[in-house]
């Protein structure tokens, strides 16, 4: 069991952090025994534990006792942990080379972490406040230049490594469904629903320009083959036949996506109302945000998608700032989908600091707005679904990869080979840290003039080959919610812990993993560098029964849990 001593006001951040690092913990109580203690508090009491990690960007009362000599703090910095870089946003205290202790962590300003060891205990002094960093990441989010770094996931990885290197075992429920390395949520924003809906408007003339002059430019830039160039021109020439209904509308995406994603459920976000640009849109082209289709026009296509196990969500117009309009938008899509749980992604990814609270009070099951328009990566530093600070029930499914960010000239403007490299880096992070990977491919991106369909086919094939679990937004949110509802209790009789799921939904979802790190026998002696070995075992667990672990991490399954007697705890 980990005992946590936070600064005043950090309690909710600590609770969310340990939903992401799902391991037994509690707020520190005097008189209770802990193998691990994590402290960011202003006053650090005397205590005994096998691993003590003290975080803080200000000089602590124990620094002089330890022989730590601090330098002037930096407002922000970059940590270096082996070959990994980790940005620090809320201040970093570095330590002089004359400090006692072994350097553990370096930064661009000097030593950022020190290790003090003995035969029975390891103390680690780190020059930043972990929970201040987590609060920043989950609230403000990272600047685009650091989007490629899963900063919060790396903080979890570092803490886990320090504990294991000290020879202390861990029980953890990783963010990976049993039998799968990570989760994938394929999503599509339906902004146009066919070029036939656009007649002599800016969308049509923009397409004509890009499919003629723009296509020639892309051909000479090496971004478009001669065959694709001809197809662009043919698409322009075919417009009268499309409008007459004599040939298929090449912007209609549903059959194409169902073929590419065969047997993979996807989520389609639909704009609820025709010709509504929305209010408070901070863009001089705000009127272009209005859609030319109505959801009732898509009834037949939507029925086909639902039949294939796909999901319909809200591509919100005003939900980001108005509960009243948000309920209206939610009700419109709920009527089409006939589902009780509805998720949302805001059109143009519009949001402000109050958006998650508005969406939570409106009643959305999840949001998938938190991502970048200008790049790909981790706005909140994580590949995990999380609960934004201050909300009651809403889960955030962060957006990681989107087509426009990869290929638009005014965003990353990548070649397909460079886009592949960037996406593979995110996939490798998902393999290493678990969590989810949310992909957005828009409705017209497979067709002329974009022709980003071939790239998407390759991306989906790569994700299939990884063995990832694919789920709709609601099912993915449901799986992460089940993991959140696991509660750890002390077992004084066994000097161990008991894991129970506080409530259990009946829908079929992949089991959780009970992962145990046990120090190897030869790892119990003191190792000055802190490098110790351990074994890892995993057990699939659906949560219908309690799982009990003794002090040696031997597991037994208890009796079936009576969920009617438990209150939901998340």
Counted residue by residue, the chain has a size of 570
- Whole-number Cα distances in Å, 361 to 223, 327, 392, 567: 45, 9, 8, 21
DSSP secondary-structure letter at 221? T
Query: pLDDT (tens digit, 9 = 90+) per residue, 290-301?
Result: 999 999 889 999
Contacts of 123 (CB under 8 A, 6+ apart): 52, 53, 54, 66, 115, 116, 117
Query: pLDDT (tens digit, 9 = 90+) per residue, 287-333?
Result: 999 999 999 889 999 999 999 999 999 999 999 999 999 999 999 99
Considering only residues 118 and 310, tell me which one the structure prediction assigns the higher pLDDT.
310
pLDDT at 561 over 60: no
Query: pLDDT (tens digit, 9 = 90+) per residue, 243-279?
Result: 999 999 999 999 999 999 999 999 999 999 999 999 9
pLDDT, residue 504, reads: 63
pLDDT, residue 569, reads: 39
Give, in words, the CATH class of 2-172. alpha beta
Mean pLDDT, rounded, for 209-226 = 93
Mean pLDDT, rounded, for 396-416 = 96
Query: pLDDT (tens digit, 9 = 90+) per residue, 22-46?
Result: 999 999 988 888 999 999 987 777 7
CATH superfamily of the domain spanning 183-192+251-478? Glycoside hydrolase/deacetylase (3.20.20.370)
pLDDT, residue 568, reads: 42
121 touches 50 (CB < 8 A): yes
413 touches 407 (CB < 8 A): yes
- Whole-number Cα distances in Å, 182 to 2, 66, 155, 286, 297: 26, 41, 19, 37, 36
Rounded to two decimals, the pTM is: 0.93
pLDDT at 562 over 70: no
Chain centroid to Cα 48, Å, comes to 35
d(CA 25, CA 30): 14
**What does residue 46 show for φ and ψ, rounded to 5 degrees?**
-75, 130
pLDDT at 73 over 90: no
Closest-CA residue to 289 (of 330, 317, 327): 317
Across 424-438, 456-470, 548-562, least confident range:
548-562
Closest-CA residue to 363 (of 336, 395, 388): 395
pLDDT, residue 500, reads: 87
Considering only residues 285 and 527, tell me which one the structure prediction assigns the higher pLDDT.
285
- Count CB atoms within 10 A of the CB of residue 170: 21
pLDDT at 450 over 70: yes
Mean pLDDT, rounded, for 534-547 = 88
- Is residue 354 classed as helix, strand or coil in its secondary structure? coil
Mean pLDDT, rounded, for 464-479 = 97
pLDDT at 526 over 60: no
d(CA 425, CA 82): 18
Mean residue pLDDT across the chain: 90
pLDDT, residue 534, reads: 79
Long-range own/partner contacts, residues 251-254 (CB < 8 A, 24 or more apart): 251/192, 251/193, 251/194, 251/195, 251/196, 251/443, 251/444, 251/447, 252/193, 252/194, 252/301, 253/188, 253/190, 253/443, 253/444, 253/446, 253/447, 254/301, 254/304, 254/305
Across the beta sheet with 77-81, the strand order is 25-27, 2-5, 36-39, 51-55, 122-126, 110-117, 102-107, 77-81, 84-88
pLDDT, residue 560, reads: 62
**What does residue 549 show for φ and ψ, rounded to 5 degrees?**
-130, 135
Query: pLDDT (tens digit, 9 = 90+) per residue, 345-354?
Result: 999 999 999 9
Q: What percent of the chain has pLDDT over 70?
A: 95
Kindly indicate the confidence band of residue 63, based on its pLDDT and cuts at 50, 70 and 90. Answer: confident
Q: What percent of the chain has pLDDT over 90?
A: 72
pLDDT, residue 532, reads: 59
Question: Which H or E run contains 430?
Answer: helix 416-433
Domain ranges of the chain: 2-172, 183-192+251-478, 195-246, 501-565
d(CA 349, CA 315): 9
pLDDT, residue 505, reads: 62
d(CA 89, CA 131): 11
187 touches 269 (CB < 8 A): yes
DSSP E strands, 61-100 = 77-81, 84-88
């Amino acid at each position: 069991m980990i005992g946590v001593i936070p600064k005043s006001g950090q309690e909710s951040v600590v609770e969310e952090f340990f939903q992401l690092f799902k391991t037994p913990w509690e707020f520190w109580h005097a008189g209770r025994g802990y193998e691990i203690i994590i402290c960011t508090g202003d006053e650090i009491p005397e205590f005994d534990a096998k691993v003590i990690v003290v975080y803080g960007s200000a000089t602590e009362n124990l620094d002089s006792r330890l022989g730590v000599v601090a330098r002037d703090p930096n407002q922000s910095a970059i940590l270096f942990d082996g070959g990994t870089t980790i940005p620090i946003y809320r201040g970093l205290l570095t330590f002089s080379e004359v400090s006692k202790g072994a350097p553990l962590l370096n930064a661009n300003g000097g030593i950022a972490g020190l290790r003090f060891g003995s035969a029975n205990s390891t103390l680690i002094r780190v020059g930043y406040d972990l929970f201040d960093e987590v609060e920043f990441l989950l609230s403000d989010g990272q600047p685009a230049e650091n989007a490629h770094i899963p900063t919060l996931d790396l903080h979890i990885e570092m803490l886990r490594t320090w504990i294991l290197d000290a020879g202390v075992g861990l029980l953890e429920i990783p963010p990976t469904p049993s039998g799968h390395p990570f989760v994938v949520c394929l999503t599509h924003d339906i902004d146009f629903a066919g070029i036939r809906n656009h007649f002599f408007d800016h969308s049509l003339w923009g397409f004509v320009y890009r499919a003629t002059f723009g296509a020639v430019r892309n051909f000479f830039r090496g971004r478009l083959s001669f065959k694709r160039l001809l197809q662009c021109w043919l698409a322009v020439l075919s417009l009268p036949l499309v409008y007459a209904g004599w040939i298929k509308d090449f912007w209609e995406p549903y059959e194409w996506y169902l073929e590419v994603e065969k047997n993979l459920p996807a989520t389609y976000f639909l704009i609820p109302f025709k010709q509504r640009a929305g209010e408070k849109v901070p863009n001089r082209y705000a009127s272009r945000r209005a859609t030319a289709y109505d959801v009732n026009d898509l009834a037949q296509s939507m029925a086909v998608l639902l039949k294939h196990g796909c999901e319909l969500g809200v591509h919100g117009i005003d939900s980001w700032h108005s509960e009243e309009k948000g309920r209206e938008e939610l009700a419109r899509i709920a009527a089409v989908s006939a589902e009780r749980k509805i998720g949302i992604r805001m059109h143009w990814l519009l949001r402000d600091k109050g958006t998650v609270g508005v969406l939570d009070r409106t009643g959305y099951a999840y949001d998938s707005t938190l991502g970048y328009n200008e790049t790909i990566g981790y706005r909140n530093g994580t590949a995990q679904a999380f609960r934004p600070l201050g909300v009651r029930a809403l889960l955030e499914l962060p957006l990681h990869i989107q087509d426009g960010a990869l290929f638009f000239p005014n965003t990353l403007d990548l070649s397909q080979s460079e886009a592949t490299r960037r996406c593979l880096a995110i996939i490798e992070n998902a393999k290493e840290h678990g969590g989810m990977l949310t992909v957005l491919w828009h409705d017209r991106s497979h067709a002329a003039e974009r022709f980003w369909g071939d790239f998407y086919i390759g991306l989906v094939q790569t994700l299939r080959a990884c063995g990832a679990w694919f789920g709709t937004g609601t099912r993915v949110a449901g799986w992460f919610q089940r993991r959140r509802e696991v509660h750890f209790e002390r077992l004084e009789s066994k000097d161990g812990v008991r894991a129970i799921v506080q409530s259990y939904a009946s829908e079929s979802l992949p089991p959780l993993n009970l992962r145990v790190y046990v120090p190897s026998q030869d790892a119990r002696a003191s190792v000055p560098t802190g490098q110790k070995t351990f074994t890892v075992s995993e057990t699939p667990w659906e949560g219908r029964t309690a799982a009990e672990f003794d002090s040696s991490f031997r597991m037994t399954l208890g009796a079936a849990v009576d969920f009617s007697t438990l209150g939901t705890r998340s």
